[in-house]
Amino acid sequence: MSTKEKIYQIIDGFSEEQLNGLLTMLTGYSDVIAEAQDDAFCSKLYSEVKDEDNTDVKSIEDFANELGISIA
């Protein structure tokens, strides 16, 4: 029997109130997983940027000049 089938078998006997509680828990768990995945992605991006060679750093003035913008 697959995990999904076992879960279906367990919840088949739940009352509507129990199912509502389970739905609330699963929704919260899903949100936590999504947030953790987002945090991991952002952390990875931050690490990649932090580890890059930053020798090509430009001042805001130089960048504005390249774009033809006067910030005086």
First to last CA, the chain: 72
pTM: 0.47
Per-residue pLDDT of the chain (72 residues; tens, 9 = 90+): 999 999 999 999 999 999 999 999 999 988 889 899 999 999 998 888 877 766 677 888 988 999 999 887
Q: Quick check: is 63 in a domain?
A: no
Residue matched to tokens 């936590």:
32
Domain that holds residue 47: 21-51
Q: How many domains does the chain have?
A: 1
Provide the b/e sequence for 26-58 (b: ≥16 CB within 10 Å).
eeeeeeeeeeeeeeeeeeeeeeeeeeeeeeeee
Q: Quick check: is 42 in a domain?
A: yes
